[in-house]
Chains A and B, each alone.
Chain A
Amino acid sequence: MLKFVSLLLALSFCQGLQHNNIDDYVEAEPVFEASKYGSLWPLPQKVQISEVSFKLTSSSFRIVDAKASSAGPSCSLLQSAYRRYYEYMFGSAKKQWWSKNNRRSDPSDLSELQVWITSPDSECDGYPSVTSDESYELTVNQPVAVLKAPKVWGALHGLETFSQLVFEDEYGAKSINAAIINDFPRFQHRGILLDSSRHFLPIKVILANLVAVIHCSQGAYHPYTHVYTPADVKMVIEFARLRGIRVIPEFDTPGHTQSWGKGQKDLLTPCYSGSKPSGSFGPVNPILNTTYDFMAQFFTEISTVFPDGYVHLGGDEVDFTCWKSNPDIQKFMEQQHFGDDYRKLESFYIQKLLDIVTSTKKGYLIWQEVFDNGVKLKPDTVVHVWIGGGSDKEMSSVTAAGYTTILSAPWYLDYISYGQDWQKYYKVEPLNFEGTDEQKKLVIGGEACLWGEYVDATNLTPRLWPRASAVAERLWSAKDVTDIGDAFNRLSLHRCRMVERGIPAEPLFSSYCPHEYKGV
């Protein structure tokens, strides 16, 4: 019998800050110690790990459907997850044929993980949604381990947790400790925003990061794109679905649309210089019927391509100067009695857009400015808070107005600084704003954002991981999981696990992984 902690000591964190005069990040140097929770990340809601351990043998260990499970062999989502996790735990298909016959099953072996979907509808062929049940219960004991979940989405998270419990003992044998885990996410919406507009991201880069997303039990994935073929998009969506990840497309209007104008004539507002068009273009032109015809057609198509119940409509950072310069728009402002208040014009546009999107039976997310500008919103609008500085006040007022909200302000991962900035992301408490319990229930989660000015396929993965993992734990685990030291110990191991699974997640501090990244 081995204690869980034995192998974890293999990692060591050493001190020394040579030649680095750090101005902004003076902190105690981290020293690695094994956590009693091993390498679990994000930490499950309830965990009991015993010191009793069992061996797992690659030749005999199986992940199987429990007899009573409502999902059977025809559930390809689970079958492919079984194989994926088997390979994460044992490496790909190295069959030990020579040991198969002459090795007797040992009483200290764990031979099976049974996966039991308990509700009549497993949702195996569906898409995850904002209301999906992601809970699961995992019992590791002899002779079999049992993973119970109402839906496949919880089972996927449970498989990840099971794989994180498996460790290599000092002889290289795979082992697992007896454990009882009861788990569910604190927030429903746990997202990552990738920006594929500022730099094009090849599909396989997106796919690789979806793999990494599931290692962190993130729930929603939010690419910012309209440059991929429908086949590409379909592939991303299916890849994500198999991992329990939602794909929410963002089509940001009326600002941030310069690239739209290249493919759609008359969509953008012609800017004027004095009394003549200057040749340049501003935001979407809100005064033409053709604009709304285009948008109706466009969003109808989008609603068929993206199965998720939500579309992100953007609405951030609209620059009014071009609208102001255009005489037709000035005239329209007069007709509508908007005076000089261009926010009213924006509101007019958004209102019509929201009607269009509602007619496609989609819910929608919008950036906070749309709310700030007093645009009339439907009660089920989700407001995405992103502006740093004062975001707690914003959360208060958005929820006081009764809107559901998602927080991103503290999690702009494209900002870089020297030192362990993951701690900054980890220390955020999303509900730390003034408001009633009812208001706090309106916060459905958060998103880590990685905008693309300085990020493309060359540096995306190490910049995202493991920093986004810090956000993942904040959004999944219980509110009182705030011990930075314990988080450091678990995250260090989680990072090495990502590296072993082929994700080049960057280091937290001076240290090593048993298997360093070799993909150079």
Chain B
Amino acid sequence: MSVVTSGRYTFPSYNLVFFIFLQLGLHSVEGVWPLPQSITSSPERYPLNPQAFYFTYGSQSAAQEGCSVLDEAFKRYFSLIFPDYSSGYGFLRFSVDKPFTVQVSVGRDDCDSYPDEDSSEQYTLSVSAGQASLKAETVWGALRGLETFSQLVYQEDFGSYYVNKTEIKDFPRFQFRGILLDTSRHYLPVQAILKTLDAMAFSKFNVFHWHIVDDPSFPYQSRTFPDLSAKGAFHPMTHIYTQSDVGRVISFARMRGIRVLPEFDSPGHTQSWGKGQSDLLTPCYSGSSPSGTFGPVNPILPSTYKFMATLFKEVSSVFPDSYIHLGGDEVNFSCWKSNPDVRAFMLKMGFGADFTKLEAYYMENIVNITVALNRTSIVWQDVFDYHERHTSLSVVEVWREGCYLCEVRRVVKAGLRVILASPWYLDQPGPTHNWARYYTVWPLAFKGTEEQKKLVIGGEVCMWGEYVDATNLTPRLWPRASAAAERLWSDEKQTSDVDKAFPRLQDFRCELLRRGIQAEPLFVGHCKHEYQGV
């Protein structure tokens, strides 16, 4: 490249632009995270003036003004694109800039629906003089395109905004791109959840896996069983999620094209459930008398299944998503073994001494409950490992370390769908600071047919709560989760090089700071707009 120009008098601003390009490489064509499937852009660029910038609906678009998802997104992205502009400032400036219009067209009016497992997220974006044309099948695809457009706009040192001529065709590699938050080991204020949802949309995540209850606390306030949170939450007033809190999270997520997947993990990880629901947990025995402690859910009582059916009926009416996560991991058998009634039940059922059969029996009953509610169930891999027959299972989440692709292969061979979480346990910060290990993950690098590989529907970042609460959640999650986001969205061949990704991720991290997300640094360096809050 050369900065030599033909005439003696050149446009000074042109040189300046070039200088910025060379020095910082800030707004090269790859300035979008995660990388779109196909992107071409030219140095030709257009100034954007916030006072002459508009979002409109294309005349052929199935959704028009009044579409809540897009109307709100237009407002949101206007402030994200022009962070310095405040409409209340009120001085009128004579503007020579021509207006710039982003015209959005969608093929279906799904404005009032919820994003789902089959929702198309593909979009095309074409930026030219005076306008950008964004086309998508669904409003969810349009949301992804708006995010991309917002990342294409950049601000120069003197405060002017620009966007380059660009053509993008984009769609996600995997349909399921999730983040798990654990609100049982530490209570996360609703505000912290909403902020995470905002940041998720910036990285095109589309599933919030809400691990809402577990051993330490039961913060979900049930309509049918209010005692569960009244007795099982850390505090019955301040450390709970009311129905309106949950509704707020779901609607906030919907506006960003994010599904809310609830997990009610059983039969293990249920200590807090027992406080508000007597006879639900198995009484453990010490010798021939009850020891006073309790183990997993009691699988031998009909009352257990009646309770679960009622609870899951409520859950399926509160959470609109077609998936429910049933957990089923890490069941400790020692309490079941100690209980004479459980042992008698084992005999009766012909399970011998194999308690995995008892767990399988329990899970099969729970899965059937959700099937009756017309819901697809997800279980942790433990349930797949225990089951001899896999017919009742549908989606398995692989979480254990070691050869996780071996497990993925086993699950898809059984014809079941897979969500991969093993490589993305972000709550474990050490032993190194290296973000690249979340990037150099190859989810389909196992031997299998095309059909089998299609069964890998996506992956998930897990943020367990032993050592995480609102004080450290955001910097622990971002920008490392964004590394996983690119793996799940972008084409693997185009994004396999860590060194190429590093400067892009650094820029993206600065953009997160600009948007108020306290994403931690990847290494030594600085951002133009550092995080100011403390």
Contacts and interface: CB of A to CB of B under 8 A. Distances in A.
A453 B518 CA distance: 16
Given A12-B234, A520-B189, A204 B470 contact: no
B471 A462 contact: yes
B238 interface: yes
Interface residues of B, number: 62
Contact of B217 (A14, A24, A506): A14
B210 interface: no
A510 B433 contact: no
Contacts of B185: 14, 16, 510
Contacts of B272: 14
A463 B239 CA distance: 24
A154 to B, nearest CB: 29
Contacts of A516: 187, 189, 238-239, 469-470
Contacts of B238: 514, 516
B429 interface: yes
Interface stretch (B73-81, B171-179, B458-466): B458-466
B429 A456 contact: no
Contact of A459 (B214, B466, B520): B520
Interface stretch (A94-102, A129-137, A195-203, A430-438): A195-203
B186 A507 contact: yes
B465 A510 contact: yes
A506 B185 CA distance: 13
B521 A454 contact: yes
A506 B467 contact: yes
A282 to B, nearest CB: 19
B428 interface: yes
A125 B519 CA distance: 41
Contacts of A520: 189, 191-192, 195, 470, 473-474
Contacts of A417: 429-431
B113 interface: no
Contact of A517 (B431, B470, B475): B470
B429 A418 contact: yes
B186 A458 contact: no
Contacts of B507: none
Interface residues on A, range: 35 or more
Interface string B418-438: 000000010111110100000
A201 B324 CA distance: 44
Given A14-B216, A14-B271, A199 B472 contact: no
Given A510-B186, A510-B216, A517-B470, A457 B271 contact: no
A199 B271 contact: no
Contacts of B464: 18-20
Contacts of B521: 199, 454-456, 458-459
A449 B508 CA distance: 29
B471 A200 contact: no
A178 to B, nearest CB: 30
A45 to B, nearest CB: 31
A204 B182 CA distance: 31
Contacts of A262: none
A512 B534 contact: no
Interface string B148-190: 0000000000000000000000000000000000100111010
Given A457-B532, A510-B466, A20 B215 contact: no
Interface of B: 182, 185-187, 189, 191-192, 195, 214-217, 234-235, 238-239, 265, 269, 271-272, 329-330, 380, 399-401, 425, 427-431, 433, 462, 464-476, 513, 518-526, 530-534
Given A458-B519, A504-B534, 10 more contacts: A16-B216, A16-B269, A16-B466, A20-B428, A198-B524, A204-B534, A499-B471, A506-B469, A518-B191, A520-B473
20 contacts: A14-B271, A16-B466, A18-B269, A19-B330, A199-B524, A416-B429, A419-B467, A453-B433, A455-B520, A459-B520, A459-B521, A462-B471, A462-B475, A463-B472, A506-B472, A507-B186, A516-B187, A516-B189, A517-B469, A519-B533
